[in-house]
Amino acid sequence: MQIYELPADMLARLIRTREISAVEALESVLGRIAEVDGRPGSLNSSDDDPEDNERVHAFINLTPDRARIQAEEIDRRTAAGEDPGPLAGVPFTVKDIFCVKDTPSTAGSKILANFVAPYTATPVSRMEAAGGVMLGKVNLDEFTYGSSNESSAFQPSPRNPWDLTRVPGGSSGGSAAAVAAGEGMLSLGTDTAGSIRQPAAFCGVVGMKPTYGRVSRYGLIAFGSSLDCPGPVAGNVTDAALMMNTIAGPDKRDGTAANMPVPDYTKDLKVGVRGMRIGLSSEYFRITYFDPVTGEFDQQPIPEEIESAVLSAAGYLAQMGADIVEDVPMPHTKYGVPVYFVVSRVEAASNLHRYDGVKYGYRTPDSVDYLPELYRKSRAEGFGVQSKLRILMGMYVSAAQYSEQYYNRALRVRTLIRNDYEEIFDPEGEHRLDALLTPTTPTTAFPIGEVYGDSVLMQYADQFTVPANHAGVPGLSIPAGFAGDGLPIGVQLLGPDFSEAKLLQIGMAYEMATQGEEWRRQIPRIE
Amino acid sequence: MEFQNALTAFESVIGLEVHAELETKSKMFCSCPVVDSTVSNPNVAVCPVCTGMPGVLPVVNQRAVEYALRVALALECEIAETSIFARKNYFYPDLPKGYQISQYEQPLARNGRLKFQTADGEREIRIRRVHLEEDTGKLTHVHRDEETFSLVDLNRAGVPLLEIVSEPDLRSAVEVRAFAASLRTILRYLKVNSGDLEKGVLRVEPNISVRTLGSSELGTRVEVKNLNSFRALERSVDFEIKRQIAEIQTGRQVIQQTVGWDENLGMTVPQRTKEEEDDYRYFPEPDLPPLVIEPEWIDSIREALPELPDAKLHRFIQQYSLSEYDADVLVAERSIADYFEGTVAALAETPQVEVSPKTVANWITGELFGLLNHHGVAIEQAAITPQDLASLLQMVSQGVINQNTAKIVLAEMFASGKPATEIITERGLTQISDRSFITDLVDQVLSANPEQVDEYVHGKDSIARWLFGQVMRSAKGQANPQVVQTELDKRLSALRAAEGH
Ligand SMILES: [Zn+2]
């Protein structure tokens, strides 16, 4: 076994006990990156390189010199008898939607391609303060607007390590692909509608969307500010818990960060699920969508192999003593995507206002002598199509004459979605659930190019993940085997506010119960 | 003549929108210091948050909320237990985020009122709302070497700003000015704003419409901007009222628009019309939780509020038997009112020497104001303490020095900061009250002017005043005038009696 294949918690332990040096660990991971990642995403990649289809392309910016300085410092501290922290020497990547001081922070967009951040995002600085070694920035959908990474201005976009003709999911696709391919044990992602959980499921890794406010958003380049959650992408549940320990907590720079103490997520990871009540809902075994022509609801069942992966997981949990509660009503699930279309776009359009060609970022090279023309040209040339679609729709639905009909209505429906969760998790209520078990996604990873541009279809990929963003509740996606096409399947656990510890315990129980299974031994082959 | 008649046939309806920067140490949503952007170097008080860098978040400055609550309570507003910050979206280079964080549907406070004095008595104007927002940066347009460009200074971006909106209860330019001035006085009393219109720390924007007298409908509103003084405010409102009436009189329509006041032209100039107005696409600011104000906090701020100008005015008239005019001058500034009361209190420590509050008021608003204005010094910085002034006035009252000497001493105190007694001793200014000394002087003067004495004795009374002046002159002004008068009267009446008149 190579160092780059070790889980984060084991590597940190070996580095703290000086059995492996941080520099050795870093070089092992850098070697792996050199081997599998291929050329990084860039703005000028028009010419197709056949080799592109044989590599992962997780990175936009690899910063090995910066990482080496950090790794050497970890080794100096362990040599001096100091404890560098729980992530001592663990190489990790950061989705390029977070600012890291003195490094390019691009959001996957041409408009920020030349932007070098003057400060570091809170979750990144917390990981570094815990001893983590940052490798660099990984690719994403432009401004996180997508589910496949194909909308990044930096091409080639990441591939799925399990099948390089497939997308890794998105928008934290670079994060999930990197962890799955052994390019760093941990990655910091963000989840606005499923952007951590969906790529985690597609790439066969663990991803957690924490409770809204559990992890500070300071330094996260905003998409849907009321939905965005930074969170961990990791190889296993223990590593996700370890990372949650370092990134969660109050932050005086984020007024929406929760002022709640952070439990040790790794402490009772293995307590088991005996007596826990875990629910299943039929709303999560079918896609309900609006027919664009008739305006009526249509339904489509999800593939059987995904449904049976969830039921099999439920079976394991039942065997370990959990009560499985069936037919849990989640009547507003189907509104998750339409409501998301309105809320996220209003916030996104406003959040993108600051990219105007005046202060930083891309400015049109053409000479203009009229200020609005500077704005128009800079933004027209700097933003990709997904950003423009969001700006247009956001502007439209928040216009004074429409905001009542769309935005304010969407906010009311959002409350109904939240109510669904409050009812099933109510300790005095009918269901009294500890968690809801669902598929993470209705499909496995789709082929590159298949749905890109078909925005509505891609958004339905979020139907099982986005309601948690509306409600603010936490969700955990864990690998649950493979489909017939050889691609990973993910299952999702959703819980009430601040139930991350319990979700991780359930995930851990399932992980331990399936440890002996054949599929657990599969690793992605990249050649 | 016809136009004058027209003026009286119309009524103007005016509301004010006032923006007041709050003088907190740090900005509204970041920890950058608040600096005087009219003198500071550009872009020295900036950070990632107030320059709108990607990924930053605002955090509410609690002190700014406290200042806003002071104002809202002083204006007798209802405070919202929960208010919501909202984004006002528009593009401009002085707005780094592309939106201003403000409050829209749920402001901090509503339904207040402000009472103030006018020549026609007391007026009460309703306050519609008070809300918190952030200021924008400042643009400087430069034309140099045939090139035109704009410089952006973000020192002011993110400075806490309080918006106060009145109901359209004002009816004249004079009233608008009185209202604005009294609002300014309150802001200064609360120590939240210096009230400097020239520096733009306080910005007053009237919206004006006219209607035929007796009508209850509202006319078309015109908003006036770019007012840098109370004089400009009054002139612009006056101009705008007349302009609108003239428009209607000549059969034209008043267009809903924003106009700017041109001080040099003495007229308002159109800036933009309603059709050009942006849709700001307000929506709740997702980066800030609702602003929740605990009732206990409101109570403690309310308790700590200073006595406000209106209450102080009434108390001064009552307690100190001052005229309304004197009281009004004294309460115009909290520091002056405090100075006045400090002096009165110092005098009360030695009640055997009587100096009336009216005398104190006269000295402050007369001599002391003269010195302050002449030297351009604020009363807080004056070298003369209320105790110093009190002891000077006591010496006048005791006859140690006379009024004129006291004025000279006051000026010297002002310049040197020395107490009155020291200056009087140093310069030998003590007034002479010694009767035998003064009697000698009177005798000398009378014997030196036999002709005038003769005229007096033969009935020319007015000569007495001339003789008094001669005695005072020979005493170089240091003789106690009352003693001089008494002794001179005694001698002169004795002389008349001797002549048998
Ligand atoms: Zn700042």
Q: Band of the pLDDT at B159, cuts 50, 70, 90?
A: very high
pLDDT at A451: 64
In chain A, residues with a C-beta closer than 8 Å to the C-beta of B286 are 224-226, 256, 347
Ramachandran sector of residue A136 (left: φ over 0; alpha: ψ -120 to 50; beta: rest) = left
* Alpha carbon of B26 to ligand 1 centroid (Å): 8
Mean pLDDT of chain B: 91
Instruction: Judge: B54–A256 Cβ closer than 8 Å, yes or no.
Output: no
* Alpha carbon of A221 to ligand 1 centroid (Å): 17
Residue B314 and residue A525: Cα distance in Å, rounded? 88
352-381 of A, contacting B, C-beta below 8 A: 352-356, 358-360, 369, 371-372, 375
On the 0-12 / 13-18 / 19+ scale of CB atoms within 10 A, A108 is buried
Residue A157 and residue A148: Cα distance in Å, rounded? 9
| Spatial contact of A175 and A97, defined as CB atoms under 8 Å apart | no
Q: Does B15 touch chain A (CB under 8 A)?
A: no
pLDDT at A358: 93
Q: Does A98 touch chain B (CB under 8 A)?
A: yes
Instruction: Judge: B52–A359 Cβ closer than 8 Å, yes or no.
Output: yes
Where do the domains of chain A lie?
A: 3-267, 337-406
Q: Give the closest of A222, A224, A360 to B55, CB-based.
A: A222
pLDDT at A457: 52
Predicted TM-score of the model (pTM): 0.90
Q: Does B332 touch chain A (CB under 8 A)?
A: no
Instruction: Judge: A105–B55 Cβ closer than 8 Å, yes or no.
Output: yes
Judged against a pLDDT cut of 50, whether residue B285 lies above it is answered with: yes
Q: Band of the pLDDT at A383, cuts 50, 70, 90?
A: very high
On the 0-12 / 13-18 / 19+ scale of CB atoms within 10 A, B364 is buried
Place of tokens 């002034």: B389
Instruction: Judge: B96–A226 Cβ closer than 8 Å, yes or no.
Output: no
Place of tokens 């007298």: B213
Q: Which residues contact B23 (CB under 8 A, 6 or more apart)?
A: B34, B67, B191, B192, B193, B194, B201
Residue A501 and residue A482: Cα distance in Å, rounded? 26
Looking at per-residue pLDDT, the higher value among B217 and B51 belongs to B51
pLDDT tens digits, one per residue of A47-102: 678 888 899 999 999 999 999 999 999 999 999 999 999 999 999 999 999 999 99
The enclosing H or E element of B166 equals: strand B160-166
The number of C-beta contacts closer than 8 angstroms across A and B is: 100
Angle ∠(A226,A229,A234) on CA atoms, nearest 5: 165
Q: Give the closest of B51, B54, B148 to A105, CB-based.
A: B54
Over residues B311-321, mean pLDDT:
95
Of A439, A493, A455, A442, nearest to A147 by C-alpha is A455
Alpha-carbon dihedral angle through residues A510, A515, A516, A520, given to the nearest 10 degrees: 110
- Residue A252 designated active-site: no
Rg of chain A over all Cα atoms, to the nearest angstrom:
22
Residue A7 and residue A12: Cα distance in Å, rounded? 9
Q: How far is CA A341 from the centre of its chain?
A: 19
* Alpha carbon of A351 to ligand 1 centroid (Å): 18
Catalytic residue among A195, A344, A378, A477: A195
Residue A103 and residue B270: Cα distance in Å, rounded? 48
* Alpha carbon of B228 to ligand 1 centroid (Å): 27
Ramachandran sector of residue B269 (left: φ over 0; alpha: ψ -120 to 50; beta: rest) = beta
241-300 of A, contacting B, C-beta below 8 A: 252-256
* Alpha carbon of B159 to ligand 1 centroid (Å): 9
Q: Does B70 touch chain A (CB under 8 A)?
A: no
Q: Does B281 touch chain A (CB under 8 A)?
A: yes
CA atoms within 13 A on the CB side of B42: 10
Instruction: Judge: B281–A400 Cβ closer than 8 Å, yes or no.
Output: yes
Report the topology of domain B435-499: Arc Repressor Mutant, subunit A (1.10.10)
pLDDT at B245: 94
Residue A442 and residue A110: Cα distance in Å, rounded? 32
Break chain A down into helix, strand, coil percent, rounded to 5: 40, 15, 45
In chain A, residues with a C-beta closer than 8 Å to the C-beta of B48 are 118-119
pLDDT at A320: 97
Q: How far is B285 from chain A (nearest CA, A)?
A: 9
Share of chain A above pLDDT 70, in %: 98
Ramachandran sector of residue B433 (left: φ over 0; alpha: ψ -120 to 50; beta: rest) = alpha
Nearest CA in chain B to A96: B55
Alpha-carbon dihedral angle through residues B218, B224, B228, B231, given to the nearest 10 degrees: -50
| Spatial contact of A434 and A495, defined as CB atoms under 8 Å apart | yes
Place of tokens 């950003």: A387
| Spatial contact of A240 and A179, defined as CB atoms under 8 Å apart | no
In chain A, residues with a C-beta closer than 8 Å to the C-beta of B288 are 255-256
Where do the domains of chain B lie?
A: 2-278+293-300, 307-426, 435-499
pLDDT tens digits, one per residue of A309-359: 999 999 999 999 999 999 999 999 999 999 999 999 999 999 999 999 999
Q: Does B316 touch chain A (CB under 8 A)?
A: no
- DSSP state at residue B63: H
- Residue A95 designated active-site: yes
| Spatial contact of B276 and B247, defined as CB atoms under 8 Å apart | no
Of B361, B423, B336, B359, nearest to B388 by C-alpha is B423
* Alpha carbon of B52 to ligand 1 centroid (Å): 9
pLDDT tens digits, one per residue of B391-446: 899 888 877 777 888 898 999 999 988 888 888 877 777 777 777 788 888 999 99
151-210 of B, contacting A, C-beta below 8 A: 152
Coil/strand/helix, residue B264: coil
Cross-strand partners of B99: B89
99-118 of A, contacting B, C-beta below 8 A: 99, 105, 107, 112, 115, 117-118
Instruction: Judge: A350–B98 Cβ closer than 8 Å, yes or no.
Output: yes
Q: For the beta carbon of residue A493, count every other beta carbon within 10 angstroms.
A: 28
Q: Where are the beta strands (DSSP E) in A78-185?
A: 91-95, 133-138
- Residue A28 designated active-site: no
Judged against a pLDDT cut of 70, whether residue B67 lies above it is answered with: yes
Q: Which CATH superfamily is domain A3-267 in?
A: Amidase signature (AS) domain (3.90.1300.10)
Residue A273 and residue A379: Cα distance in Å, rounded? 52
pLDDT at B1: 45
Q: Residue B196 corresponds to which tokens in the numbers above? A: 């400097």
| Spatial contact of A37 and A57, defined as CB atoms under 8 Å apart | yes
- Maximum CA pair distance of chain A? 72
Q: Residue B17 corresponds to which tokens in the numbers above? A: 């929108």
In chain A, residues with a C-beta closer than 8 Å to the C-beta of B283 are 346-347, 350, 398, 403, 407
Q: Does B84 touch chain A (CB under 8 A)?
A: no
Q: Does B91 touch chain A (CB under 8 A)?
A: yes
Of B196, B203, B185, B131, nearest to B306 by C-alpha is B185
Looking at per-residue pLDDT, the higher value among B270 and B352 belongs to B270
Mean pLDDT of chain A: 95
Q: Give the closest of A99, A226, A347 to B55, CB-based.
A: A99
In chain B, residues with a C-beta closer than 8 Å to the C-beta of A372 are 91
Residue B173 and residue A174: Cα distance in Å, rounded? 65
* Alpha carbon of B486 to ligand 1 centroid (Å): 73
Looking at per-residue pLDDT, the higher value among A289 and A11 belongs to A11
In chain A, residues with a C-beta closer than 8 Å to the C-beta of B54 are 99, 105, 107, 112, 115, 117, 221, 354-355
Question: In three state form, how does the secondary structure of B284-326 look?
Answer: ECCCCCCEECCHHHHHHHHHHCCCCHHHHHHHHHHHHCCCHHH
Question: Read out DSSP for B66-134?
Answer: HHHHHHHHHTTPEEPSEE-EEEEE---TT-TTSEEEEE-SS-SEEEEEEEEEETTEEEEEEEEEEEEEE
142-161 of B, contacting A, C-beta below 8 A: 148, 152
Alpha-carbon dihedral angle through residues B80, B85, B89, B92, given to the nearest 10 degrees: 100
Q: Does B58 touch chain A (CB under 8 A)?
A: yes
Q: How far is A396 from chain B (nearest CA, A)?
A: 9
Q: How far is A216 from chain B (nearest CA, A)?
A: 10
Over residues B33-58, mean pLDDT:
96
Ramachandran sector of residue B259 (left: φ over 0; alpha: ψ -120 to 50; beta: rest) = beta
pLDDT tens digits, one per residue of A174-229: 999 999 999 999 999 999 999 999 999 999 999 999 999 999 999 999 999 999 99
Residue A180 and residue A202: Cα distance in Å, rounded? 10
Looking at per-residue pLDDT, the higher value among B272 and B131 belongs to B131
User: Poorest-confidence range of B43-52, B143-152, B271-280?
Assistant: B271-280
- DSSP state at residue A322: P
Residue B330 and residue B340: Cα distance in Å, rounded? 7
